[in-house]
């Protein structure tokens, strides 16, 4: 049984899911909003990257920078114009709003960038290296490194910096944080922008394996949500673990289970997991107040 | 005198912290029984253990159930001398035995009219099947009419029947509190637990409330267990009072006895207990 | 109601079930308009889909509006109903009634399982759990070729009902009958003890339990009825269109159904139908005809999405609330001293827009 090759491939997709999942979790922790539109917003700014690349012929890093600007502006706009206005809405109401945003961005993308599907090349087009009998492309190594580096970098920022403290304080209790003088509004604004950039990066990493259409981030969005469920919404590292687990499980189920039914089996397993451990792998149970 | 509710050796801890420690007391039938204590004494925890929202680590909650009711609910096997141990029973089955509560933060449904809110209190009495209700068969319609009359009577008892068909959402706090009490009357209770009913009421409303509590005891022939911060109300309306502190029993007696009790004074010392 | 009507007539018109029947009778006139050429055939089709989706939305309203439970599974259950109807009618040749029964029973059974899931997970996870089920169903529709013919699409035929060979116009009448039945059933549910229990559960599960409401029973009930409606809508979709493709039953359909409920106004039966009309018919019949913006490819998406966001942000009562405002305005003009019964509509707190202050 071949293990290393599919494992390496899973690490690559896992990194994509992890970035998207981190975006969902950072929004959840600061705004208490389930960010269903993470994938759709990533799709939009990812499509912007492809658009810049295809229209201007600029190098990829310039296009990615442009995409980051789009992602940050979108994040600001959504938090400022929509989420902030929903302070008094219930959790389900906020959920529905981000579901509505999916449709808005899916509808906007073809209007802004045209209806023709676009291609986004790999950051490192060719070349691979052999590791213990398994082949891995330079691009995959880059993607895995970027994923892990960003996740690790984010943890350092969250744990060691003043901004990180502000985010964690807002996450644990928005009201108290505000009373302690933390500018919680700025914190959520930053969180939405960070989530936007993470989504854009996930899109740029997954795009070379497919074509850039309004739906190309759907699998990433679904997987990232499931990663959050698996890892629990209470920590920042749980969903990252969840993301890699899902990628590995998906790959191995398809390879050694059924190539056709692998995803359904995985989703069923996730559902069963949700029943057994509703708070995730590293989640705490919480006491309901009466 | 027979006991309506006997709490025996109740203990529960949260994360190693003992919220209740071997607490026992008895509420007699048709008496107003007050439960007092400084903030954090565990008063609300007692409520939640009695009504099974929390499962106590140790102890028992014996509740006297009317024989007719028992026959209806088919729980005869579990009783001893007409008393039923509530510990371990599902939360939604408690009201069926005649034990009903109100909430500190007034849990009424703003989107429904007052009378519909009261009808929720009679939920367990509706026997028409889901099928019969979905197709409005005569049985379901007859039942609805009968309980509507009963709900009207409960609203009349609390003198808010003129608002029966108004929406609850826009009503002032005092009306919503009364509505919650009217709802408890639908369950033909033998014991009503009131969780800080005077919180948020002004002096006149509190006085009104004292009258309502006595009237409920006399007219509906049921006991009232009252957890309250307002000492004026407690001393005024209660037949007996139990004081607790840090989850432990402190003193038991008539209002006059409690007022003289040294241990109670000590527990309250330094704390002006008005939340 | 006009003041000039006799009191007896007014009471008659005020009867909810009679209103539904009248509404149905009016809808049944539409095929006549179509065959006489007043109404375009494509318009009749669009209206049929409005009514079909209204049935599914009625089920979601029971969940989202009355019970406060969210579901992203509507599309999956509709698809399941559609494929079951086609499979039983055309592949097994068992006829309309057995096909309809299969399309109702199987999704309902799965719906009950979802209800069990909903007991275990916190409300924020429920959307993800139902999304998970919908994804499983969607992928199954793509892969189980013996059942669905995969992406090539399943073809079906107009059913034979009571020995009558139906056609498009007859099917329209069947859809109307189904919708009216669903509206009346929903009315009975929400205006009795069942509905009050759902209200109590939404308002506070803790308080509901203290009032004797068995949360297990009512969550299962809400999910069962919602999936029953979705299965019915799916079967009617198939019988009307005579084909089904997996791509129809994706997340966007579920989102559109949520949009119908939100736009129509939570907890309103006529509002749900109006919501379905706005979400399905307005882009199809109105927006498409507009110059310049009519050709924009993603317009229906943007329309639904923007409406969801705007309604929740600014007018959580939806079309139902708008209708209430209009009615109040008319009655206050008629009686300048103000309406006879004190109304507190403006102060009612809708569950999605604003949180109860007492929390």
Contacts of B116 in chain C (CB under 8 A): 196, 199
Q: Cβ of B53 and A290 within 8 Å?
A: yes
Nearest of B166, B115, B136 to residue C186 by alpha carbon = B136
Q: Is the pLDDT of residue B37 over 50?
A: yes
CA distance B144 to chain C (A): 8
Q: Cβ of A290 and B48 within 8 Å?
A: yes
Residues in chain C: 359
CA distance C15 to chain B (A): 14
Nearest-by-Cβ selection for B144 from C192, C214, C343: C192
The Cα–Cα gap between B153 and B147 comes to: 10
Number of B/C CB contacts below 8 angstroms equals 116
Q: Is C211 on the interface with B (CB under 8 A)?
A: yes
Domain ranges of chain C: 15-347
Q: Is C154 on the interface with B (CB under 8 A)?
A: no
Q: Is A272 on the interface with C (CB under 8 A)?
A: no
Domain B1-98+189-275 belongs in CATH node 3.40.1110.10:
no
CATH class belonging to C15-347: mainly alpha
Kindly tell me the burial class for residue B177, based on how many C-beta atoms sit within 10 Å of its own C-beta (0-12, 13-18, 19 or more).
Answer: buried
Nearest of B113, B102, B95, B96 to residue B181 by alpha carbon = B102
Give pLDDT, residue C342: 42
CA torsion sign, B107 to B110 to B113 to B116?
negative
C-beta separation of B241 from B33 below 8 A: yes
Which residues of chain C are modeled with pLDDT < 70? 1-14, 335-359
C-beta separation of C175 from C239 below 8 A: no
Give pLDDT, residue C336: 60
C-beta separation of B35 from B227 below 8 A: yes
Contacts of A222 in chain C (CB under 8 A): 131, 135
Residue B200's pLDDT band (cuts 50, 70, 90): confident
The Cα–Cα gap between A123 and B100 comes to: 67
Q: Is A86 on the interface with C (CB under 8 A)?
A: yes
Nearest-by-Cβ selection for C348 from B105, B126, B169: B169
Q: Is A233 on the interface with C (CB under 8 A)?
A: yes
The Cα–Cα gap between A126 and A145 comes to: 17
Q: Tokens 């039983």 map to which residue?
A: C88
Q: Which of residues 248-287 of A touch B (CB under 8 A)?
A: 287
Q: Cβ of B14 and A290 within 8 Å?
A: no
Quote the longest CA-to-CA distance of chain B: 64
Nearest of B158, B91, B90 to residue B118 by alpha carbon = B158
Return the structure tokens found at C51.
């009514």
Name the CA radius of gyration of chain B, rounded.
19
Q: Is A81 on the interface with C (CB under 8 A)?
A: no
Q: Is the pLDDT of residue B110 over 60?
A: yes
C-beta separation of A18 from A158 below 8 A: no
Domain ranges of chain A: 4-213
Kindly tell me the burial class for residue B222, based on how many C-beta atoms sit within 10 Å of its own C-beta (0-12, 13-18, 19 or more).
Answer: buried
Q: Is B44 on the interface with A (CB under 8 A)?
A: yes
Contacts of A88 in chain B (CB under 8 A): none
Q: Tokens 């509006």 map to which residue?
A: C65
Q: Cβ of C345 and B126 within 8 Å?
A: no
The Cα–Cα gap between B195 and B178 comes to: 13
B236: left (phi over 0), alpha (psi -120 to 50) or beta: alpha
The Cα–Cα gap between C324 and C346 comes to: 10
C-beta separation of A122 from A208 below 8 A: yes
CA torsion sign, A75 to A78 to A80 to A85?
negative
Give pLDDT, residue A138: 85
Contacts of C351 in chain B (CB under 8 A): 111
Nearest of A257, A192, A277 to residue A1 by alpha carbon = A257
Q: What digits encode the pLDDT tens for the residues B60-91?
A: 999 988 777 766 665 555 667 778 888 888 88
Looking at chain B, which residue has its C-alpha nearest residue C216?
B92
Give pLDDT, residue A133: 75
Would you tell me how many other CB atoms lie within 10 Å of the CB of residue A157?
15
Domain ranges of chain B: 1-98+189-275, 108-187
Return the structure tokens found at A8.
């390496």
Q: Tokens 């052999």 map to which residue?
A: A130
Q: Is C219 on the interface with B (CB under 8 A)?
A: no
* End-to-end alpha carbon distance in chain C: 39
Instruction: Walk along chain A (290 residues) and give the pLDDT tens digit of each residue.
Output: 577 888 888 888 999 999 999 999 999 988 888 999 999 999 999 999 999 988 888 888 999 999 999 999 999 999 999 998 887 788 888 889 999 999 999 999 988 888 888 888 887 777 777 777 777 888 888 889 999 999 999 888 888 888 888 888 887 777 888 888 888 888 889 999 999 999 999 999 998 888 888 888 988 999 999 999 898 888 888 999 999 999 999 988 888 877 788 888 999 998 888 888 877 777 665 544 44
Give A92-106 as a DSSP string. Answer: HHHHHHHHHHHHHHH
C-beta separation of C152 from C84 below 8 A: no
Give pLDDT, residue C353: 47
Q: Cβ of C117 and A274 within 8 Å?
A: yes
Classify C72 as helix, strand or coil.
Answer: coil
Nearest-by-Cβ selection for C308 from A91, A97, A270: A97
The Cα–Cα gap between A276 and A161 comes to: 36
CA torsion sign, C153 to C155 to C161 to C166?
positive
Q: Cβ of C308 and A103 within 8 Å?
A: yes
Q: Is A290 on the interface with B (CB under 8 A)?
A: yes
Q: Is the pTM of this model over 0.80?
A: yes
Q: How many helices (H) and strands (E) does chain C have?
A: 16, 4
CA torsion sign, C176 to C106 to C265 to C12?
positive
The Cα–Cα gap between C64 and C312 comes to: 13
Touching chains, B (3+ CB pairs < 8 A)? A, C
Q: Cβ of C210 and B169 within 8 Å?
A: no
Give pLDDT, residue A135: 79
Classify A251 as helix, strand or coil.
Answer: helix
Q: Is A176 on the interface with C (CB under 8 A)?
A: no
Residue B170's pLDDT band (cuts 50, 70, 90): confident
Q: Is C192 on the interface with B (CB under 8 A)?
A: yes
Residues B219, B224, B230: CA angle, nearest 5 degrees: 115
Contacts of C207 in chain B (CB under 8 A): 103, 107
Contacts of A290 in chain B (CB under 8 A): 44, 47-48, 53-54, 103
């Amino acid at each position: 049984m071949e293990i290393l090759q599919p494992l390496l491939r899973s690490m690559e997709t896992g990194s994509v899911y992890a970035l998207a999942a981190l975006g969902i979790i950072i929004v959840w922790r600061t705004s208490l909003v389930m960010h269903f539109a993470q994938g759709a917003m990533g799709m939009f700014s990812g499509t912007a990257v492809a658009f810049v690349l295809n229209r201007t012929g600029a190098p990829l890093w310039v296009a990615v920078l442009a995409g980051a600007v789009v992602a940050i502006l979108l994040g600001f706009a959504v938090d400022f114009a929509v989420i902030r206005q929903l302070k008094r809405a219930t959790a389900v109401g906020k959920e529905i709003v981000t579901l509505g945003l999916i449709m808005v961005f899916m509808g906007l993308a073809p209007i802004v960038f045209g209806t023709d599907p676009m291609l986004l090349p790999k950051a490192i087009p060719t070349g691979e290296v052999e590791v213990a009998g398994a082949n891995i492309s330079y691009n995959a190594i880059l993607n895995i490194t970027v994923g892990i580096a960003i996740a690790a970098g984010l943890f350092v920022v969250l744990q060691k910096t003043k901004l990180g403290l502000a985010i964690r304080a807002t996450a644990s209790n928005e009201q108290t944080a505000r009373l302690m003088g933390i500018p919680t509004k700025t914190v959520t604004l930053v969180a939405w922008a960070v989530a936007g950039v993470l989504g854009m990066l996930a899109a740029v990493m997954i795009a070379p394996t497919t074509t850039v259409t309004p739906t190309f981030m759907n699998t990433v969005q679904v997987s990232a949500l499931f990663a959050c469920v698996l890892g629990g919404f209470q920590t920042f590292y749980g969903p990252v673990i969840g993301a890699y687990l899902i990628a590995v499980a998906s790959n191995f189920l398809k390879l050694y289970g059924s190539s056709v039914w692998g995803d359904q089996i995985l989703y069923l397993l996730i559902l069963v997991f949700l029943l057994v451990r509703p708070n995730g792998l590293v989640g705490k149970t919480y006491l309901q107040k009466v | 005198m027979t006991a309506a509710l006997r709490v025996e050796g109740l203990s529960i801890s949260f994360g190693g912290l003992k919220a209740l420690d071997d607490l026992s007391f008895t509420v007699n039938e048709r008496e107003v029984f007050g439960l007092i204590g400084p903030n954090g004494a565990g008063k609300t925890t007692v409520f939640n253990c009695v009504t099974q929202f929390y499962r106590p680590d140790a102890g028992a909650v014996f509740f006297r159930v009317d024989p007719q009711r028992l026959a209806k609910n088919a729980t005869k096997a579990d009783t001893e001398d007409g008393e039923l141990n509530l510990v371990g029973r599902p939360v939604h089955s408690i009201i069926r035995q005649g034990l009903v509560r109100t909430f500190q933060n007034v849990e009424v449904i703003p989107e429904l009219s007052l009378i519909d809110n009261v009808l929720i209190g009679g939920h367990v009495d509706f026997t028409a099947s889901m099928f019969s209700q979905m197709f409005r068969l005569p049985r379901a319609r007859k039942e609805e009419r009968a309980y509507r009359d009963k709900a009207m009577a409960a609203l009349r008892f609390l003198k808010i029947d003129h608002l029966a068909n108004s929406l609850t959402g826009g009503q002032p706090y005092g009306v919503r509190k009364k509505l919650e009490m009217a709802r408890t009357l639908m369950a033909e209770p033998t014991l009503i637990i009131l969780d800080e009913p005077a919180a948020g009421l002004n002096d006149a409303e509190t006085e009104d409330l004292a009258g309502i509590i006595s009237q409920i005891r006399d007219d509906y022939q049921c006991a009232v267990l009252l957890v309250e911060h307002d000492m004026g109300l407690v001393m005024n309306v209660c037949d007996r009072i139990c004081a607790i502190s840090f989850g432990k029993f402190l003193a038991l007696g008539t209002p006059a006895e409690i007022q003289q009790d040294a241990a109670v004074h000590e527990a309250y010392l330094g704390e002006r207990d008005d939340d | 109601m006009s003041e000039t009507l006799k009191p007896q007539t007014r009471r008659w018109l005020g009867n909810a079930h009679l209103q539904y029947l009248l509404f149905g009778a009016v809808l049944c006139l539409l095929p006549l308009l179509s065959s006489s050429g007043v109404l375009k055939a494509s318009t009749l089709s669009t209206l049929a889909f409005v009514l079909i989706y209204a049935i599914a939305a009625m089920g979601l309203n029971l969940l989202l509006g009355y019970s406060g439970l969210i579901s992203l599974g509507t599309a999956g259950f509709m698809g399941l109903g559609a494929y079951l109807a086609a499979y039983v009618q055309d592949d097994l040749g068992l006829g309309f009634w057995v096909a309809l029964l299969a399309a109702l029973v199987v999704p309902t059974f799965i719906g009950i399982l979802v209800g069990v899931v909903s007991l275990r997970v916190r409300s924020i996870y429920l959307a993800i759990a139902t999304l998970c089920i919908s994804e499983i169903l969607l992928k199954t529709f793509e892969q189980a070729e013996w059942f669905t013919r995969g992406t090539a699409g399943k073809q079906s035929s107009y059913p034979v009902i009571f020995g009558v060979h139906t056609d498009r116009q007859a099917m329209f009448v069947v859809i109307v009958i189904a919708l009216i039945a669903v509206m009346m059933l929903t009315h009975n549910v929400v205006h009795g003890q069942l509905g009050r229990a759902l209200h109590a559960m939404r308002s506070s599960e803790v308080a509901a339990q203290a009032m004797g409401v068995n949360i297990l029973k009512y969550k299962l009930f809400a999910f069962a009825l919602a999936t029953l409606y979705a299965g019915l809508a799916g079967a009617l979709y198939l019988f009307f269109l005579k084909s089904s493709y997996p791509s129809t039953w994706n997340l966007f359909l579920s989102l559109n159904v949520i949009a119908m409920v939100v736009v129509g106004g939570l907890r309103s039966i006529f509002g749900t139908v109006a919501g379905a009309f706005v979400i399905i018919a307005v882009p199809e019949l109105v927006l498409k005809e507009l110059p310049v913006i009519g050709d924009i490819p993603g317009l229906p998406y943007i329309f639904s999405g923007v409406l969801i966001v705007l309604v929740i942000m600014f007018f959580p009562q939806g079309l139902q609330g708008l209708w209430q405002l209009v009615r109040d305005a008319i009655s206050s003009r008629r009686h300048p001293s103000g309406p006879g019964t004190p109304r507190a509509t403006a102060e009612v707190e809708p569950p999605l827009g604003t949180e109860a202050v007492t929390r």
